[in-house]
Every structure is written in C-alpha cells, then in structure tokens.
Chain A
Amino acid sequence: MCRADGASAEDAPEPAHTGSGVDPGQTGSTDAAFTALLEDSAEDLYDAAPCGYLSTMMDGTIAKINATLLDWLGLTREDVVGRKRFADLLTVGGKLYHETHFAPLLRMQGELRGIALEMKASGGRRLPVLVSSTLKRGDGGEPLLIRTTVFDASDRRAYEEELLRRRQEAERAYAAAEQARLQAEADRERLAATLAVLQQTLLPPSLPAVPGVELAGHYHTASPDQLGGDFYDVFPLTDDTWGFFLGDVCGKGVEAAALTSLSRYTLRAAAHHDPDDPVAVLSALNTALLHDPSVGIRFCTVLYGTLRPAHDGGVTVRLAGGGHPPAFHLSAGDDGGGDRGVRPVELPGAMLVGALSGARFVTTTVDLEPGQALLLYTDGLTEARDADDQLLDTEGVAAMLAARTGPCTAAAVVADTVAFLAGLPNGTDDDVALLALGAPGAGAATAGSSTAAVSVTASEPNHVPIGSTDRP
C-alpha cells in the first residue's frame, strides 16, 4: 500500500550517510556480483574445474563425472555414467594397482591422497594423473559413494622421467667408469705379472752346485722393482771348469737392467767360445757393447774368470778384469782366528768394458788353498758410507774383512758383509752384488760337495736401507 513512499524512502539514501559507515546491503551485492562474474554456478564450477571430478558407487560404477575429465579422456558422459567403472578408465597397470591397493586402502582408511595412476586417454595416449578419493558415508556410517579428484600429472611425470633418465645416465656412466677401473686393474696385474717374469731373467740365477767349491751370492737393487745394473753368474764350461762373472753396468734402474741382460748373455756365449781365454771373453763383450746402438755411451766393469777344483782340495781361479774394483783373496790366518789375510787382487791397466774399441784387459791366476775364499763385489759396497759419512772405499772393505771373526767360508763372508752393510747408519742407495768362491777347508763337512747360497733384496720404495728378504 504505501509502496511508493516506502520505496522512495529506501531508494534515496541521504548523501550524508555514505561516508558515515559501511552499508551491509551495498557490500553483499558487490560480493554477489563478483561471484557471479567468476562462477555462474556451482554446477559450472564442478564441470569446468581445472581438475577432474568423478563420483562412483561402491561397486565402482561411475555415477557422475565432470566435463574436464571427460575432455581429457576423450569420452562423452553417455559413454561413462552408469556404464563404466572407475577402474575401466585406467591403463592395465593402473587397473591392477587400483584393484590391489587403491580400493582396499580407500575402504579401510576412508580417504587416499595423491596416488599416481595412469588413465587411458583419447588416441591411445596414457595420461599420468594424481588421484585423491574420499569415501562418503551415510548417517549410519555405511559407505555410500566415492568422490574422486583427478589432477593431470603429465608435467610432473615428465619431470620424474627426466630425473629417472638422468639417474640411468649416471648409472651407465658409473658402470662405464667401473668397467674402465676393472680394465685398468687387470692391465696393471698383467703388467706386474709380465714384469715379475722379466725380473726373474734379470736377477742372478740360482748358483749351481760345483763339486769341491763353495759358492755364495748376494744381490741388492736400489730400485724397488728389482731392476738393477749389477749382475753375476756361475755356469759350467767344460767337464772340470766353470765360468763365473760379476759386473756393474753404469747407471741404475730399467735402462741399466737392459744392458745387464746384454752383458750376461754375451759373457756366457763368449765364455763357451773361448773357455781358455778370459781376456778374449772380455774383448767380445767390449765389442758387443760398442756395437749395440741402444747401449750409447754406457759401459760396464766386469770381473770374469774360470775356476777349476784342484787335486789338493784347493781351487784354481783365472781372473780377468775390465775396470772393476779388485776382488779380495781371503785366508783364515794360521790359528783360524785373528790376523786374517786380506789381499786385493789387482789387475792394473784393465780398462772399462764398452768404452773404447781395442780396450786392454788383464788376467791373473789366483790359487785358493783349502780354507781360502775369493770375494767379488760391485762398487755399491765400496761406495757405501760409514758412520762418519765417509766412503768405505776398498780400504774400508778390506778393514772390515780383516776384522771378521767368522769362518772363512763363502757363505760366512757374504753373510758377514751383508750384515755389515745393513749395520751402516746410512746404508747404501746403490745396487750391490756380492759373489764369493771358497775352497772348503780340509776338515770341512762340505768338502767334495758344494753349497750355494743366494740372497736377493731390493730397496723399499721409501728408500729404507738394505733389507734382508730371502729370494722367493
């Protein structure tokens, strides 16, 4: 009845009121307009949401599905609602996972979040999705239906696949590196085995048993690889004669070792060619070293000789020298105790081997009586330094031999000399070879037979002085 008045009263608010406070009626209408602008309706929000929605009965039959999901899957509502179960929309793997894990867990827990599944999309594509579901229950708590949201996880799956690909690449790279490491290890072992065999050819061989002669040797290399420039050997020449040599190639290590081989084999071959002429044997070596282009200006110093057991139990030694330190002729002295005889066997004018064509070599004869010995050595012994850091020299070695109290047998002479070297505070950083020949004493149990002892040592890589490892 009084609509016009009332209307006019409500529709014409006074301007003064506008600034006095918030008008609730005005605000409500702005929110509504805002909402209307964004979402026409809850139904449209459901249908066109940026994620998939679907609701299924407890048997899995799809009761409701939104357009977004239908669009992703390339299906129509008629294809799906009341006709398909949620599991029918999944790939085989997804279906399997749904049946075995998803559905049972959902029934038990009432909800599941962010489960990764694959759906069958249009055109045979697989659509990776993340699925969350909740169980709607009735008033009595009985399960009524399942509400499910589906998020497109293609990007995330791509990211995960990239991660996986990177990991597989890393694993392949690791496998390749591991393969290379194993190969390197195998190569290293093969080289070590090869070197071990070659080393055996460079080391002095075991000394032979020479009837009526006692032999002992010692071989130390400054190189931890047992590659040295010193060498010695004793070998049969004729029925009653044996050849022997001890020498020192200029230099150390692998290059010296190569020249060592050449020298040893040349000496042995030349000895068989000229068993009665030690000087000719040294001349042959001299020529071989001069003519081998790989030798360069390297030379060696050698004592070469023959030994023949004599009828009186002694040993006749013919000794030829090429620039080598003098051997020591040792006798026990009258009472077998002090006042040892220590005589250097000088070979004056004997030149280095391999330094000059037509080099001159010198020979002499040493008669070892029973109980006497001959010690051959390389300059690693004479160039060792004593406690005062002075070079031993031949005088120092002679003094050491004269002061010995042990028996004058080859084995004892070598053992005492090795012990003496080992006892020097500064030891030796050079190769050392020792070879002793002995005529067994009259009452010696070894008379008529032979003893031959050899020890081989090498410096540790950290240059610890002479060790005492027995030859393997």
Chain B
Amino acid sequence: MTRAFRLEVRHAGAGHALIAVSGELDPLTAPRLRERGLSLLAEGTPHLLLDMSEVDFCDSSGLSVVIALWAQANASGGSLALAAVPDRLSRLLRMTATDTLIPVRHADDFGRSEPEPS
C-alpha cells in the first residue's frame, strides 16, 4: 500500500535541482536522501527543492535529514525548500516548528516557480 522508496533527481539548471521523493522516509531510507542531497550540494547545485508529494511516511529520522540538508544548503549560500507536502507531513512540520525554518511551497506553485532548464 505504500510505494517503494525512490529518489528522482531532475536538474533544472542555474544551480537548481528538484529531488522527487517517493515512499517512506524512515531510519532505513533517510540516509539515501541525505547522501544524494549532500552530493548535489557538493557538486555545485546549491538550490534544492524536495517534491514531497509522494512521501507516504516521514518520521524523525526523515525530518532530521531534511533539516540537515537545509542547514548545509544555507551554510553554503544555497537554499532548500519543500514542495507539495502531504497533510500528515505538514502537521509534523508544524508541530516541530520546522515550517518556520524551511520554506514550504504550495503544490500549485510548484513547477511555475522553477526556472526553465538552460
């Protein structure tokens, strides 16, 4: 009933990348998101947008990785934002006040705000 965990990266040019996350973000899968995100930042892609629309579950370890990537992106002059956040995750972000740190874009804005590939 839940999707298999999957990460799909789409480079949008101008230092932007979109990571579409599918499935459950838990202690087993979260390190994969961390690894992928950190390598994108290290490879000169400072602006990350995480498409969370297909995230079925996110616990504290998933949240931990999102915050770590956000901190790393900020520290290197970049940014990290979340898009299309499902209700449950949205409540987790609110409960932990993570939504006051990390910009959350509405699903409808998603795509239009992305720069076109150069």
Q: A-side interface residues toward B, CB under 8 Å? A: 248, 250-252, 297-299, 301, 323-326, 348-352, 355-356, 359-360, 379, 383, 389, 391, 393
Question: Are the C-beta atoms of B97 and A323 separated by less than 8 Å?
Answer: yes
Contact (Cβ within 8 A) B97 A350 = yes
Task: Known contacts A297-B67, A383-B59; decide if A351 and B27 are in contact (CB<8 Å).
Answer: no
A356 touches B64 (CB 8 A): no
Is A360 a contact of B97 with CB atoms below 8 Å?
yes
Q: Smallest CB–CB gap between A185 and chain B, Å?
A: 33
What B residues does A250 contact at CB under 8 A? 60-61, 63-64
When the two chains form their complex, are residues A252 and B27 in contact, meaning their CB atoms are under 8 A apart? Answer: yes
Per the 8 Å Cβ criterion, residues 50-77 of B in contact with A are: 57, 59-61, 63-64, 67-68, 71
A379 to B60, Cβ gap below 8 A? Answer: yes
- The CA of A78 and the CA of B59, in the complex, are separated in Å by 105
Main secondary structure of the interface of A (DSSP, over half): loop
Residues of A within 8 A of B95 (CB): 323-326
| B residues near A298, Cβ cutoff 8 Å | 64
CB nearest to B34 among chain A residues: A297
Given A250-B61, A297-B71, A351-B96, 16 other A-B contacts at CB below 8 A? A250-B60, A250-B63, A251-B60, A252-B27, A297-B68, A299-B60, A301-B96, A326-B95, A350-B96, A350-B97, A351-B98, A352-B67, A355-B98, A355-B101, A379-B60, A391-B88
7 contacting pairs across A/B (C-beta < 8 A): A252-B27, A324-B95, A351-B96, A352-B98, A356-B101, A383-B59, A391-B57
CB-based contact A348/B57 at 8 Å: no
- Cross-interface CB contact of B67 among A299, A325, A349, cutoff 8 Å: A299
Q: Given the complex of chains A and B, what is the CA–CA distance between A391 and B58 in angstroms?
A: 11
CB distance from B9 to the nearest CB of A (A): 21
In the bound complex, do residue A248 and residue B71 qualify as a contact, i.e. CB atoms below 8 Å apart?
no
The answer to whether the Cβ of B94 comes within 8 Å of any Cβ in the partner chain is yes
A379 vs B98: C-alpha distance when bound (angstroms): 16
Cα separation A251 to B64 with both chains bound (whole Å): 9
With a CB–CB cut-off of 8 A, which chain A residues contact B1? 389
